Amino acid sequence: MSLSVSGVSVRFGSFAALADVELEVAEHEVVAVLGPSGSGKSTLLRVVAGLQEPSAGRVVLDGVDVTKVPPHRRGVGLMFQDHALFTHKDVAGNIRFGNAWADVASLLSLVGLPDAGPRAVVTLSGGEQQRVALARALAPSPKLLMLDEPLGQLDRELRERLVVELRRLFVRLGTTVLAVTHDQREAFALADRVVVMAGGRIAQVGTPRDVWEQPASEFVARFLGFTNVATASVEAGTAATPWGRVAVPAAPGPHPVLVRPAGVLLSVDDPGDVTGVVEVATFAGERVEVLVRIDGAPLLEAHCPVVSAPTVGETVAVRLDPAQIVVLPRNSSE
Ligand SMILES: Nc1ncnc2c1ncn2[C@@H]1O[C@H](COP(=O)(O)OP(=O)(O)OP(=O)(O)O)[C@@H](O)[C@H]1O
């Protein structure tokens, strides 16, 4: 099922939870809506599901305007964060609830719990309960499945495993999926495209790779976890950043720039134009994450190879790798 959201706004009194949102989701596509708390993700999902009437705009499913159609007649499935299984029913009873004709055995094997039908819900682990909730959401064979923080309650290891399973399942079923998450890794792992929301508006739409490589604004860059973002003044192809000078392909003038931590090259032996002192060095398995204090500049984050990482208190020369600098659009207003 294809989805088209056009000009959708939702107002609560004078507060705009959604402001003029435009979104197209193609049939079979998996789209993740990503954004900080309160940015309007759940409200968008609720509008598409029919649980929240928009103050303006239209929701179109497979070419049909469903803006005024009640939720149960839209043919969409919903799975909420608190998956709210009935604890007094067994697993099969939960899936059958409201879906009398559901093929419980097939649904359970689909979610990897083939023998769980007679089990009491309370005896399942959190991850197993999540899968039962998913089986229940899939029971009416929705053509559009919407998930609100589908893995929200689970610990990280389980989330990472389940997100891969979910992705494979959606590809296999060919279901169109709109999923809300505040976790960028989860969105990237799950979706063909991600939508980043900020303050009720769409800040960026693109493939995970596009969004990662070229954040559309300073807000998106920071939301993705990049902290080395500052305004640099560019002259003759060189940007003067608070952390040193680096070549950039940008017109003269002030530009917000992002310096990827992997592009911060630290050296203990070479003298350099710019020096700093290592304030924090955190071992992160495949790399060491270092924070460098340079006089008069914000703390600079560097990702260093484990074998050559400097230690706390060391003075280091700092160079910036031009290949790891991203010039952000100047009109980033958030
Ligand atoms: N019924 C309502 N009345 C008033 N304000 C509301 C209502 N529903 C949502 N809001 C507000 O709208 C904003 C967006 O809420 P929404 O639940 O869509 O955010 P979200 O991005 O899903 O956040 P989270 O990640 O915390 O779930 C929030 O500031 C919220 O307080």
Task: Give the residue from 205, 223, 241 where a domain finishes.
Answer: 223
- Is 209 found in the same domain as 159? yes
Tell me if residue 105 falls in helix, strand or coil.
helix
Global ipTM: 0.95
What's the gap in Å between 136 CA and the centre of ligand 1? 25
- Is 29 found in the same domain as 14? yes
**Any atom of ligand 1 within 6 Å of the Cβ of 41:** yes
Beta-bridge partner residues of 278: 292
- Is 189 found in the same domain as 237? no
- Is 43 found in the same domain as 178? yes
In a domain, 303, yes or no: yes
- Is 82 found in the same domain as 169? yes
- Is 263 found in the same domain as 147? no
In a domain, 334, yes or no: no
Query: Would you give the DSSP letter of residue 8?
Result: E
Print the domain residue range for 271. Answer: 230-327
| Three-point CA angle 7, 9, 11, nearest 5° | 165
Task: Give the residue from 194, 223, 252 where a domain finishes.
Answer: 223
Q: Which atom of ligand 1 is nearest to the CA of 18?
A: 14
Distance CA(49)–CA(181), nearest Å, equals 17
Q: Which of 5-9, 18-22, 46-50, 82-86 has the lowest mean pLDDT?
A: 82-86
What's the gap in Å between 115 CA and the centre of ligand 1? 38
- Is 126 found in the same domain as 235? no
**Any atom of ligand 1 within 6 Å of the Cβ of 17:** yes
Query: What is the per-residue pLDDT for 334?
Result: 43
Closest residue CA from atom 4 of ligand 1: 12
Query: What is the per-residue pLDDT for 162?
Result: 82
Distance CA(67)–CA(273), nearest Å, equals 61
Taking the alpha carbons at both ends of the chain, their separation in whole angstroms is 33
Query: What is the per-residue pLDDT for 128?
Result: 87
pLDDT in tens, 211-248: 999 999 999 999 999 999 999 999 999 999 999 999 99
Question: The domain spanning residue 173 has which CATH number?
Answer: 3.40.50.300
**Any atom of ligand 1 within 6 Å of the Cβ of 38:** yes
- Is 236 found in the same domain as 218? no
What's the gap in Å between 30 CA and the centre of ligand 1? 23
In a domain, 114, yes or no: yes
**Higher-confidence position of 127 and 305:** 305
- Is 92 found in the same domain as 65? yes
pLDDT in tens, 94-106: 999 888 888 899 8
Q: Over range 12-25, report the average pLDDT.
A: 96
Distance CA(213)–CA(90), nearest Å, equals 46
- Is 203 found in the same domain as 67? yes
Question: The domain spanning residue 242 has which CATH number?
Answer: 2.40.50.140
Query: Would you give the DSSP letter of residue 324?
Result: G
- Is 159 found in the same domain as 43? yes
* Phi/psi of residue 316, nearest 5 degrees: -130, 150
Query: What is the per-residue pLDDT for 269?
Result: 83
- Is 117 found in the same domain as 41? yes
If one counts the domains in the chain, the total is 2
